[in-house]
Amino acid sequence: MVENSSRNAVVTGASSGIGAATVRALRAHGWNVVAVARRADRLLALAAETGAIACPADISKDDDVARLRSNVTDAFAQFGGVDTVINIAGGARGVDPVGSASVQDWEWMYQVNVLGTLKVIQAFLPELRAHGRGTVLNLTSTAGLVAYEGGAGYNAAKFGQHALNNALRLEEAEHNVRVIEVAPGLVHTEEFMLNRLGGDKEAAAKTYQGVAEPLLPEDVADVVRYAVELPQHINLDQIVVRPVAQAAAHKLIRNP
């Protein structure tokens, strides 16, 4: 932990990709960070690297979220309590059309992207209100703004998370809790497409084939860090971040 830091964040989805990069970015700027993810081994390695506090937890499970809240309260007690909650955890499963989509995949995506985000927010919202200068940042996706073929399940989950974000901003402005949405487009991470495509490495690699400069997790983490470090009276309601090669959801430049 960094002594006497006045910025205290919880970051979910911290075992890889954008979540891990966000922990690194915040720690490099002197934040106190509790890093949250299901995979304890990866989380502990990140904590050893960065000095963050590891808290293994599954945000879809009520008992885990309750334990997370208790651990965060204890960890940040001497620093004035948590002031920033960053929900990175999420994911996609499958690319099937609606007519043949797996209900189980849809349920998993809704559970992780929407209900998991909800549970984490509910756990920490009382403390963010009491702090008087709280921030919630939810990582959604451009998939929550524009639907596409084969993406309906992920679209539905991210549209839901996007709606949650907008309603929360309206509800919490009177408590001086700002609510930020970061919606990335194509980001080349080690696991997102691999998990979505059931572990098919070849198919996952084709997602990025020919794209000269897709976004990297560190790019998105820099945007997240910038947004939460702005003065409290500034709220970046929604930040859409894409690589230049992705002019829109339907237009992606691929080199031969």
What is the enclosing helix (H) or strand (E) of 178? Answer: strand 178-184
The domains of the chain are located at 8-252
Q: Nearest 5°: CA angle at 158, between 147 and 27?
A: 130
The one-letter amino acid at 96: D
Whether this prediction's pTM lies above 0.75 is answered by yes
Q: What is the pLDDT of residues 40-56, one digit of tens each?
A: 999 999 999 999 999 99
Domain 8-252 maps to which CATH number in 3.30.1380.10, 3.40.50.970, 3.40.50.720, 1.10.1200.10?
3.40.50.720
Q: Parallel, antiparallel, or unpaired: how do β-strands 135-139 and 178-184 relate?
A: parallel
Residues acting as catalytic residues: 154
What is the secondary structure of 204-245 as a DSSP string?
A: HHHTTTT-SS-B-HHHHHHHHHHHHHS-TT----EEEE--TT
> d(Cα 210, Cα 89) in Å, to the nearest integer?
28
Q: Other C-beta atoms within 10 Å of 203: how many? A: 14
| Cα–chain center distance at 80 | 24
Give the largest Cα separation in the chain, rounded: 56
Helical residues (DSSP H) of the chain, grouped into ranges: 17-28, 40-50, 62-76, 103-110, 116-131, 152-172, 192-196, 201-206, 217-229
pLDDT by 10s per residue, the chain, length 256: 344 356 999 999 999 999 999 999 999 999 999 999 999 999 999 999 999 999 999 999 999 999 999 999 999 999 999 999 999 999 999 999 999 999 999 999 999 999 999 999 999 999 999 999 999 999 999 999 999 999 999 999 999 999 999 999 999 999 999 999 999 999 998 888 888 888 888 988 988 999 999 999 999 999 999 999 999 999 999 999 999 999 998 899 999 8
